[in-house]
Amino acid sequence: MFFNILVKYTLIMSKFAILSILLPTVLFINISIAQDSINDLPKTSSALFINNEVMHISLKYSNKDIKKETNDSTYITTFLKFKEKEQSWDSLEVRLRKRGNFRLKNCYFAPIKVKIKKKERNNTLFEGQKNLKLVLPCLLQRGSNDNVIKEYLAYKLYEVVSPYHFKSKLVHLSYEEIKGKKIKNHEIFAILIEDDKHVAKRIGGKVLNIKAHPLNQVPLECVRNAFFQYMIGNTDYSTAYQHNIKLIFLEKTIIPVPYDFDMCGLVNTSYAAVSQINDDLLSIENVRQRLYRGFKRDPKIFDDVRLEFLEKRSDILGVLKECELLFENRVEYISTVEYIEEFFEVLINDRKFEKEIVNKGRTN
């Protein structure tokens, strides 16, 4: 089967190569301008996100206390200890508060917002990071760490797909949970995620806090995002209602940047359910089934993005390979790779591509 897919992929690549020569000059100019904008993005990254090494951190706080705080301005002060590789431990004072909606109500571990004062973060790995999100496992159950790894992979995959993305860092968290006079120790994986304002600043834009119809957003970035969401089996988002999407205003254009992927088929958590946004009833029964949720666009954009993904197939699979040894259950890793490969089978097959993606484009 792989040989057949490879042959089909080669044929498609040849077909697109010929097609690209015939495309109108205006399209070539638009693509060139878009590429120039990408090349103009900052080439440096914060020290925290400069590599993909798993960092070891340690926190001590009461999960119960942080959940019961009702004021978003109320923080718990504690120390975050951290180390990379064989380096010695360092620490800084941080303030924590709860964040999120679904996970806050339904998970054992509260999702956390981390706030760091400038004097604390200066001259450390956290320099420049005033605010961070900390994503923890949802439940105390087998497979929770693998779920965190898979959600982290979703963030890293979007880095391959688009220059406009949230930076993320996988961490091994030694969490000392204060339970009255006792301490309960947890050794878990977690994800540190860049703040949206930092994303906007890094790419030279600003966070847009008003609604904007997807058809008023950058077409290329919208289609990239929609292909990505289809690839990971995610319907728990809305570019129109900014549900699990941040909008960045950049050079008089609006760019969607996705986040929060625990409900997608790639992660496949035990609590994941098919989302209903704005009372839309979707035609799938479980999150492992894919449904394209992007809007109808110029067919040439679909062809361009299709080709982009096919060209990046080895890079995308390489992201998964980098985390192979971190999985506690090898079956979960294999399932993850197979799930992504199924996406490429759709791209390679003209009939499937038309049926599952092009013809599913929304009009409202």
For residue 37, is pLDDT > 90?
A: no
Pairing of strands 168-179, 55-61: parallel
The Cα 283–Cα 276 span in angstroms is 11
Residue 69 or 255, more confident: 255
Structure tokens at 351: 């009939």
Could you tell me the pLDDT band of residue 41, with boundaries at 50, 70 and 90? Answer: very low
Domain positions in the chain are: 2-44+205-360, 51-198
**Reported pTM:** 0.87
pLDDT value at residue 361:
95
Rounded average pLDDT over 37-49: 60
Q: pLDDT tens, 88-106?
A: 999 999 999 999 888 888 9
The Cα 132–Cα 191 span in angstroms is 10
Fill in the DSSP letter of residue 127. Answer: T
The Cα 233–Cα 150 span in angstroms is 12
pLDDT value at residue 3:
46
Structure tokens at 162: 């688009």
Q: pLDDT tens, 184-197?
A: 999 999 999 999 99
- List the one residue out of 164, 304, 191, 130 whose CA is nearest residue 246: 164
pLDDT value at residue 43:
40
The Cα 212–Cα 189 span in angstroms is 35
For residue 351, is pLDDT > 60?
A: yes
Could you tell me the pLDDT band of residue 72, with boundaries at 50, 70 and 90? Answer: confident
The Cα 219–Cα 302 span in angstroms is 10
- DSSP notation for 11-31: HHHHHHHHHHHHS-HHHHHHH
Mean pLDDT of the chain: 89
Q: pLDDT tens, 126-162?
A: 999 999 999 999 999 999 999 999 999 999 999 999 9
Q: In angstroms, how far is the first alpha carbon of the chain from the final one?
A: 38
Whether 314 contacts 128, CB under 8 Å: no
Q: pLDDT tens, 298-348?
A: 999 999 999 999 999 999 999 999 999 999 999 999 999 999 999 999 999
The Cα 358–Cα 56 span in angstroms is 44
pLDDT value at residue 74:
86
Which amino acid type is present at position 206?
Answer: K
Q: pLDDT tens, 229-284?
A: 999 999 999 999 999 999 999 999 999 999 999 999 999 999 999 987 777 779 89
What's the helix, strand, coil split of the chain in %, to 5? 40, 20, 35
Fill in the DSSP letter of residue 237. Answer: -
pLDDT value at residue 44:
47
pLDDT value at residue 104:
85
